[in-house]
Structure 1
Amino acid sequence: MSLDVNISEPEEFSCQELHTSIEQAALIKGIKDFKYHVDTLSGKGDNYIANLFRVTIKDTEDETNSVNVIVKTLINTARQETFNELHKREVSVYKKVLPMFKRIQEVITNDDKVIFPDCLLSSTEDEQEILILEDMQDKGFVMSDKVAKFESLTFNEVESILKELAKFHALSLICEIKEPEEFKKLQKKFKDLMFDNRFLNKSNLRKYFVDSYEMSLKVIEDMELKKLLEQIGTRLIDLLRLFTSPKKFNVLCHGDCWVNNVLFKKTESGDQLCFLDFQALRNASPATDVLHFLFLCTNSNFRSQHLENLLDAYYESFQAFSNLFNVDASLIYPQEDFYRDIRESLPFGFLIAFIELRIVTCTAEDIDFMRGSSFSMNTLVSPSGNELFKIRIKDVVRESSNNGALKKLIDEINRFSYY
């Protein structure tokens, strides 16, 4: 073996464990003598949880024999302690969940399948946390640049994502019917992590969520409304945990579904999609994924115009994909039940917007500052001077006041107090 390492590779990529991992990935691809080049991947909203690199591995004898891989690592000590559990969860998804999903889909055509990256190598050992995935860019998949440019998604783009999300959710239903014992084990394994008390205390993310909520609260000028929102903020984590806990019908949800965790490939028949980043995967109501995406990636005006049509498109895709496996989704999860779950979970959409629009509306300068600083989720730049942030927050508060979501949150708080 010979190593011709790119001398300009990022400092955080220089530890021997990572070089060894690249060697193993090369051998898996049948390349014994190789050199490799490392590029840091960065984009708006990326790299908060992991260091992300694109690595090109080339055969030293025949450079046309090459492979590109994506490497995710946790090698900074502060990040390691905070996000180790999230890394373990994503590795578990690639080892346990996605293989089952791929196996179940062997009976349908490639054009109908939900697409996932292949995992070449993974490790959850302390200080050697790594995940090496195939580079989906080689298959024509790219990330949308609309968030970075503060551009709105079109109706067709939103619809495409929701229809693919419906197929992803339907895979849980299909697995539960085809392999019930194995799937039940997965459901137990993937209880919500993000709002679990033990994880929040260990990772300090509790403070991040609370600080994010308070940052959004500062935008509100109506004092009466502000008092109402302050009351909701006192039980923020309890409320988030309430809506992400299992309900009557549950699937393995992505848990962090927004446009930056989706890759797109243009084809003659339309966009193909590929979901990424499964650190927050959880067993929960599919409504939580749908609302998470809609409240982060569309604005209130868009939702008021298109929500019903989009929900119809989601359910039609859910049902049609299930039919490919001779599963009648309408008998197990009727459309009216889906609509009920959406209505009852609308407060979750508000809560997610209030704590995550802080990230979605960050400017490029904010991102550059964060990358150059000593990383801490609690030192993220405040977008309080960002007009888009102010508009989106005020809009979601107005919407949630009109649709009864805020009242429902207060009712839940009163119920907490009663018990």
Structure 2
Amino acid sequence: MQIEEKLQDFDTTKLVSTHQDELPCQLKAVLKKIAHEEGYLNYNILSRSISTEGGNYMAMLYEVDLKGRTNEGEKETNMFIKRVISQEHVKIINLSDIYSRELFFYNDLSKVFKELETEADVPLDERYKSVKSYNESDTEAIIMQNLNKEGFTTIYRMNVMPLKFAELSVQQLARFHALSFIIEQKRPEYFEKKIKSLKPSIQYGDDYVEFCKNMYKVSSNRLSNEIKDKIDKKADEYMKNYLTGHKTDVKCLCHGDYRMNNILLKLTEGEITDVIPVDYQLMYYGSPIVDFLFFIFGATDKEFRRNHFVHLKDMYHETMEQYLKYFDIDIDIVYPKKKFEMDFEDNLEFGLELNLYIAPIIFTLEDDVPDFDKVDLLEVKVKLDDRYYERLQGVVDDMIEWGKL
């Protein structure tokens, strides 16, 4: 089916008009400052709250438009705002940490990326892409250019991603990871101080173990007794791998939440022509192969993997190799193909771990999406779309075929 015939499968946000007076006072003050810096002589603010139907769990989202007059004439500035929600009761994620981390990306790291790419004269169409942000962002809100106004949207979180989207997203991920290796060589002090020190924001303690066990009760209830027995026998190994890292000593800056819903896409005449990653709240220093597998297993089914998995794996490494050449860095020094292939093979079980412990949140039915501003993650109860169980069975089948289960 042509993409243009299924637009409803892409943009799943719902907009609700809000009055300017309903915005928090601190946010209104920041918008006033932005309006001044954008040269507005007078302006009006139009704001809309956004529901992503389960696509976002850790923030209040708004679209805000400034419309008014400047010395150069009429002007409009379109912004997308993420406001931190108060979750003092949530024990497994440090909310303050994840928002400061995203601010670090937009206000600091993304600028370093651009400097390095400019110095190396990387062609514009081969650079890592990110959304313009406003430096007035603070720990309460992150303010970015609203690319929805430029024709960008997202894919519905339960869909199998289109191949073109997967290819463009894998290329962006390869460049993101490569930039970590580049900073390590070109900006070693910055790397040691600001990259290597980024530990996961998720607190992998007893509470997180209980959360994963809670999700497993839901995820496994349609598996056959034979498969459940096999998984239960390896449960300790799966949990250890998932909580303490995976089988690789290669590390770099990782996105941490590189799933389909965190990648904006642009449609041109029904074809996907561009993607831009967003949402760096869970960024950390860790395993690149896990970031890659998270993306693949979070939005594919058995048939997609059978047809395209190897192609996307090869594209990832080839993109990284070509990108590093602009910086005179030999990939055999930072991530040789043989080592990459070994890491890929050794960590395939992550696909099953992801689907057992985390994917249930992604596949929660819209009417049952938990309000994380009110419900502790340990108390989350979910009802899953049938597509989840089909996906999980496909992952189980793959693991058996690959000799992993």
What TM-score comes out, normalization by structure 1 length? 0.82
2:63 maps to which of 49, 54, 79: 54
2:98 maps to which of 65, 86, 90: 86
Counterpart of 2:192 in structure 1: which amino acid?
K
Determine the C-alpha separation between the residues in 1 that align with 2:21 and 2:261.
23
Change (3 A) 1:186 1:373: closer
Q: Deviations over 1:308-345 (max 9, x none)?
A: 11111111111111122222223431111111111111
Alpha-carbon offset, residue 205 of structure 1? 4.9
Does the alignment pair 1:399 with 2:398? yes
Determine the C-alpha separation between the residues in 2 that align with 1:327 and 1:13.
51
Q: Deviations over 1:204-245 (max 9, x none)?
A: 5554333112211222222x4323423544566532133259
Q: Where does residue 137 of structure 1 map in the other structure?
A: 148
Larger fraction in helix: 1
User: Identity of aligned pairs, percent?
Assistant: 24
Counterpart of 2:399 in structure 1: which amino acid?
S
Does the alignment pair 1:183 with 2:218? no
Contact 1:54 1:69 in 2 (8 A): yes
Determine the C-alpha separation between the residues in 2 that align with 1:105 and 1:40.
36
Q: Secondary structure at the match of 2:18?
A: coil
Change (3 A) 1:398 1:356: same
1:279 maps to which of 278, 281, 296: 281
Change (3 A) 1:75 1:311: closer
Counterpart of 1:71 in structure 2: which amino acid?
I
Alpha-carbon offset, residue 267 of structure 1? 5.6
Contact 1:258 1:292 in 2 (8 A): yes
Q: Where does residue 413 of structure 1 map in the other structure?
A: none
Q: Secondary structure at the match of 1:405?
A: coil
Does the alignment pair 1:217 with 2:226? no
Q: Where does residue 255 of structure 1 map in the other structure?
A: 256
Alpha-carbon offset, residue 186 of structure 1? 2.4
Q: Secondary structure at the match of 1:169?
A: helix
Change (3 A) 1:10 1:217: farther
Q: Which structure is richer in relative contact order (CA contacts within 8 A, separation 6 or more)? A: 2
**Unaligned stretches of 5+ residues in structure 1:** 1-6, 407-419
Q: Which aligned pairs between 1:183-332 and structure 2 lie closer than 5 A?
A: 183-197=191-205, 205-222=208-225, 224-233=226-235, 238-243=240-245, 247-266=248-267, 271-332=273-334
Alpha-carbon offset, residue 184 of structure 1? 2.2
Determine the C-alpha separation between the residues in 1 that align with 2:374 and 2:21.
13
1:97 maps to which of 101, 106, 109: 109
Change (3 A) 1:235 1:33: farther
Q: Secondary structure at the match of 2:245?
A: helix
Change (3 A) 1:352 1:142: same
**Unaligned stretches of 5+ residues in structure 2:** 1-15
Q: Secondary structure at the match of 2:349?
A: helix
Q: Secondary structure at the match of 1:70?
A: strand
Does the alignment pair 1:122 with 2:137? yes
Change (3 A) 1:61 1:285: closer
CA RMSD, aligned part only? 3.0
How many residue pairs are counted as aligned between the two chains?
383
Counterpart of 2:344 in structure 1: which amino acid?
I
Counterpart of 2:391 in structure 1: which amino acid?
R
Change (3 A) 1:372 1:10: farther
Determine the C-alpha separation between the residues in 2 that align with 1:115 and 1:79.
35
Alpha-carbon offset, residue 174 of structure 1? 1.7
Does the alignment pair 1:67 with 2:81? no
Greater shift after overlay, 20-29 or 47-56? 20-29
Q: Deviations over 1:66-99 (max 9, x none)?
A: 2011111124455888522221221222233222
Determine the C-alpha separation between the residues in 1 that align with 2:69 and 2:89.
35
Q: Where does residue 160 of structure 2 map in the other structure?
A: 152
Alpha-carbon offset, residue 378 of structure 1? 4.4
